[in-house]
Structure 1
Amino acid sequence: MKNTITKCLLILVVMMPFASCTDDFLETSSTEDVSATNATATTENMNLVINGIYRLFYTRLDNKNGSGNNRKGGIGSMMIQNSFMGEDVVQNAQANSSMIDFARWIKPFDADDDRQLHNWRVMYRAIVNANIVIAGGDEAVGPEEDKNAALGQAYFLRAFAHFHLVQLYGKRYVAGGGNDQLGIPIVLEPIIEPQARATVEAVYTQINEDLTQAITLLDGYSRFNPSHANQAVAQGLKARVALVQSNFTEAVNMARLARAGLTLMDSSTYTSGFNDYNIDEWMWGLHYNEEQGSNFTNFGGIMSRNFSSNQIRGNPKSISQALYATIPGTDVRSAIFDPTGDHDNLPEGISLISRHKRFPYTHQKFLAVSTGDSRGDIPLMRASEMYLIEAEALARSGTDDAGAAAALFTLASARDASYTLSTNTGQALIDEIDLQRRWELWGEGFRFYDLKRQNKALNRNGSNHDFNLVLVSDVPAGDNRWQWMIPTDELNANPLMVQNP
């Protein structure tokens, strides 16, 4: 039997940007599939496939048995999972437990769980469909610039998906090591036979090759909205990858190229709700219109402060009290959290209802359209992250503390007019940059990845976590739990697959 990866191919309907697989995602009827030849016959068809992949990133997927689940809404739900597994986002109450089990470090190690499977399922669907475009795109009829745009995005999406998966299911990349530890299967064909897990080194080699292709093909591409990747977004992803690999020179160069010409948010924009992907600082984001997604699948249905759902009314999310205490009162990032939980300074037109429980240090960073409408754009990449990558890479290189401090100053002074150029050096400067990263990217899905790549332990002690609720106070660096379990469905379908410890 072909493996899960093979059979998670989307049903490609040329007249529609997206269609889901059949009820059992392990089985896809060939009579329902548009052939790969037709999917890449024209550049218009190619771009429909690309649009379908992007839509997959925010569309709700039902369970494999066909039943619905409100918490599997593409990348947004994955970002929430990763944030919940860190120490900076605090769960206040049981409310709805569907995502709290990530904070408890339970779901990633339940190989039978649909929410855990969601990452594997979505990303390999994206990879297989990107491969359709890559395999047949050279023969497509249409303008060369349209062909390059589709191919460039396909290479980018394939790299993005492999990068996401290897960070979850593979062991951490160790700079200077052989990195022959198990990663994930590398999938480069639309239809394949079962494959073994490649080494972590091989996966990163392929990711970088794909991003190099994407950056070249997307040169000059002008996207029609920020939900699609352009050359800057591909450069930004390559900066992320380089930071994981401790390739500090490339991380700096790519981060600088990616953020070139972009303006950081002012204080007013920063406190307006993080829900508009047209803001200049946002390099890449996902947008929900009124016909897409569902109120309880959207990122805002779980992470916003004001939408009226069980998850938010009963369990609004707080910042770690210990982390909040490190943010200066003059820094705008302190204004998106309320130590009282009353939120008396919400933007005009935004309100809470009486059933919204109040807890200390709850956030108002992410705001939905209203209490009855959870829509809000999702930030996937921002220019601020590029400054942080540049600063961290320079500091960790050990050769340019002054340059690291200068890059950090550009971001930090935009958030706090009282900030002065850092005089820290060495590890103290690295620690300062990491603290700024935690303030800046709170709730945006980075913390699990950051702890893993930095080989740090999870430590929730000394803050406002309720350990009777989240159960886990700390996880040592290097613990087997930093690798998620391979989904059982993949193990059953693929005789070459090996489970993590």
Structure 2
Amino acid sequence: MKNIKYIIASLIITVSSTSCSNDFLEEKPRVDVELKEGITNEKNLAVAILGLHNALQNTDSYGALIPTLNELLADNSFVSLRNSNRFAGTRQTDLSYYVTQQGNFASLWGNLYNIIANANFVLSYEGKIQDDTNTSETPVSLFAQAHAVRAMAYYDLITHFSEVSGNGNQDLGVPLPLVLDVNAKLPRSTVAQIYNQILSDLTTAEGKILNTNKRQINNSAVDMLFSRYYLAVKNYSQADVYSQKILNSNFSSLSTATEAPTMFSATEEGGKETIFKLEFNDKDLPGANDGITATWYSGGRYRQNFATRAFYDKLSNSDVRKNSWFTLTSVGSPAISAFPDNPKPVDVAKYKTPATDIILMRKSEAVFNQLEALYYTNPTSALAKLNTHVSTYRVPGYVFAGTGQALLEEILFQKNAELFLEGFRYRDLKRNGIGFTNSQTGVTLNSTKYQFKAFPIPQGEMLSNPNIKQFPGY
């Protein structure tokens, strides 16, 4: 995988200047820490772990691109006709966006492998670092964080670049480097091998993380990754178990109907629901061209990505998310009413400033992971829990009586209403084999189309790695 850019090839890791404490709440200037001799003690192991978390902030992966693609490549959002050309190809009904030369796919691929390379570098020192009794951490806890981050990156790679577990072509997973080797040209491992590695990393990390800072990966975040993993491999009983474990935990709590409208404000930044988020602040934030607010918020520089009016209209007028997270009014000029789209766009007002933290995990996800798992094992319970949750926390008086496929689609719709722009819609539809036609653009995707099954391996990877195979159709 010669084209993959390993950001630690020179052993330089950029971190926030927080010494070795876990306090990311202090907003201090960033510094470069040069590890000329690698990791030699627990203190610079802790620095390396901060650097690993810093890599997650990249706007070409978790900082913006993953949540963006998971909405724009699905049914409930679109790029306006008035756009900067960013993501404009997602509007094309001929699916010409899905090509090996697509820069967004190349960026996602490269950045996720950058994260894995960082994790592999850190983990090459596992078992070699002694515990420093003068610190609040331990090597076991710090290495557990590296295992969990690597598992998360592999999960997102296999989710986007391969077919779902158990369906279709299971030979074409993704390359599986577990050591740092910039000259490696690995073939695609099988889908099962990738999921087995994810399980191995999560099992190694489970229950071992001492950190409780929500701006770093923690034990509840590992439980959430287990929940996602078990949904992906269709082990619904275990997905239910881990979802319930999160719901029973006091590490986070569900926001009430009163609290929900402001939970994405600059002061709340996810509030008490947060399990794991990326810190952005005035000293460490993406540029105005690159952050998630650049294209998604009407006050952003390019103000072009929106929710569909069909999605907005499906929200009940009593839904506390309507007209707070999703609104027909805008703050920029021209007003949304002046956009050339028909129907007019719906503004997504979750992230309003570049300095707002990006939510990677929050407690509401566990609710919907459990509901999906129960749909496949106990649909009666799934329906009852859906009605109880939505009516209690988001839509007073909510009652849904559908069964079968209609129940599954309602669960996933409510999940999208809750977790819009948090990285789920495309993968939820794909995992469950639910095709769609986007009401605004007319783009149609379903399980008969190879574009719905997997993203293409980027052209640069194909040219530099003779051992890798392209997904059929590209």
TM-score range, shorter chain: 0.7 to 0.9
TM-score by length of 2: 0.85
Aligned-partner residue type, residue 478 of structure 1: T
| Cross-structure match for 2:451 | 481
TM-fit CA distance, 1:406: 2.3
Corresponding residue for residue 298 of structure 2: 305
Q: Distance in 1 between matches of 2:84 and 2:369?
A: 35
AA in 1 matched with 2:446? P
Partner of 2:149: 157
- 239 and 266 in structure 1: CA distance in 2 versus 1, 3 angstrom threshold: same
Which of 373, 382, 391 is the aligned partner of 2:371? 391
Partner of 2:189: 198
Q: Which string of whole-angstrom CA distances, capped at 9 and with x for unpartnered residues, describes residues 413-464 of structure 1?
A: 21122235x555444432331221121122222111111111121311xx3x
Indicate the residue corresponding to 1:410 in structure 2.
389
Q: Spell out, residue by residue over 1:250-287, the C-alpha distance to the aligned partner (whole angstroms, 9 max, x if none).
A: 10111111232232123343222625445110111112
Q: 1:278 to 1:334 in 2, by over 3 A?
A: closer
Specify the SS of the correspondent of 1:109. coil
Residue 202 to residue 215, structure 1, CA distance change in 2 (3 Å): same
Structure 1 range deviating more: 289-298 or 181-190: 289-298
Deviation of 1:123 after TM superposition, in Å, equals 0.8
Matched, 1:271 2:298: no
Sort the Cα spacing of 1:356 and 1:149 in 2 relative to 1 into closer, same or farther, 3 A. Answer: farther
Percent identity over paired residues:
21
Q: Does 1:96 align with 2:84?
A: yes
> Which residue, 329, 343, 348 being the options, matches 1:342?
329
Paired position in structure 2 for 1:49:
48
Give the Cα–Cα distance (whole angstroms) in 2 for the partners of residues 481 and 414 of structure 1: 36
Q: Any unmatched runs of 5+ in structure 1?
A: 19-31, 61-71, 344-351
Q: Deviations over 1:275-303 (max 9, x none)?
A: 54451101111121112221222112222
Letter in 1 for 2:77: V
In structure 2, C-alpha distance between the alignment counterparts of 1:91 and 1:498, rounded to whole Å: 31
How far apart, in 2, do the equivalents of 1:439 and 1:162 lie? Answer: 26
Q: TM-score, normalised by structure 1?
A: 0.80
Tell me if structure 2 keeps the 8 A contact 1:196–1:496.
yes
Preserved contact between residue 160 and residue 237 of structure 1 (Cα < 8 Å): yes
Residue by residue over 1:69-112, the C-alpha shift from the partner in whole angstroms, topping out at 9 and shown as x without a partner, is: xxx47531221122111110133323211222234486763323
Q: Contact conserved, 2:257 with 2:392, CA < 8 A, in 1?
A: no
Aligned counterparts of 2:92 and 2:427: Cα–Cα separation in 1: 17
- Partner of residue 64, structure 1: none
Q: Cα–Cα, structure 1 residues 39 and 254, in superposed 2: closer, same or farther, change >3 Å?
A: farther
| Cα distance, 1:488–1:403 mapped onto 2, change above 3 Å | closer
Tell me the CA shift for residue 490 of structure 1: 1.5
- 1:157-185: CA deviation from partner (whole Å, max 9, x where unpaired): 1111111111111122227x8x6331101
Partners of 2:34 and 2:9 in 1: how far apart?
8
Out of 122, 131, 141, which is 1:133 matched to?
A: 122
Structure 1 residues 194, 34: CA separation in 2 closer, same or farther (over 3 Å shift)? Answer: farther
Q: CA deviation at 1:342?
A: 2.8
Partner of 2:289: 296
Q: Which amino acid aligns with 2:166?
A: V
| Counterpart amino acid of residue 418 in structure 2 | E
Partner of residue 168, structure 1 = 160
In the other structure, the counterpart of 1:65 is none
From 357, 362, 368, the equivalent of 2:346 is 362
Q: 2:407: which partner in 1?
A: 429
Q: How far apart are the structure 2 equivalents of 1:305 and 1:143?
A: 49
**Residue of structure 2 aligned with 1:380, choices 355, 360, 364:** 360
* Partners of 2:372 and 2:382 within 8 A in 1: no
1:491 is the counterpart of 2:448: no
Q: Name the SS for the 1:396 alignment partner.
A: helix
**CA 1:474–1:210: 2 relative to 1, 3 Å:** same
Pairs within 5 Å for 1:218-297: 218=209, 221-224=210-213, 226-259=214-247, 260-261=249-250, 262-272=252-262, 274-275=264-265, 276-277=268-269, 279-292=271-284, 293-297=286-290
Residue 404 (structure 1) shift: 5.3
Q: Relative to structure 1, is the Cα distance of residues 361 and 415 closer, same or farther in structure 2, using a 3 angstrom cutoff?
A: farther
Query: 1:3-23: CA deviations, max 9, x gaps?
Result: 334856453226x428xxxxx
Alpha-carbon contact 1:195-1:497 (below 8 Å) kept: yes
Q: How far apart in 2 are the matches of 1:432 and 1:59?
A: 33
- Per-residue CA deviations over 1:4-54 (Å, capped at 9, x if unaligned) read 34856453226x428xxxxxxxxxxxxx9846xx33211222222222222
Query: Which consecutive unaligned segments of at least 5 residues does structure 2 have?
Result: 17-32
Structure scoring higher RCO (CA < 8 A, sep ≥ 6) equals 2
> Which residue of structure 1 lines up, in the alignment, with residue 20 of structure 2?
none
Distance 1:386 1:190, change over 3 A: same
> Aligned equivalents of 1:104 and 1:268: distance in 2?
40
Contact 1:214–1:234 (8 Å) recurs in 2: yes
Q: Is the 8 A contact 1:401 1:426 kept in 2?
A: no
Q: Given residue 205 of structure 1, which amino acid in structure 2 is its aligned partner?
A: N
Q: Is the 8 A contact 2:75 2:437 kept in 1?
A: yes
Distance 1:300 1:163 in 2: 25
User: 1:459–1:473: 8 Å Cα contact kept in structure 2?
Assistant: yes
- Structure 2 counterpart of 1:458, from 436, 440, 455: 436
What amino acid is aligned across from residue 288 of structure 1 in structure 2?
Answer: F
Work out the number of aligned pairs and report it.
Answer: 440
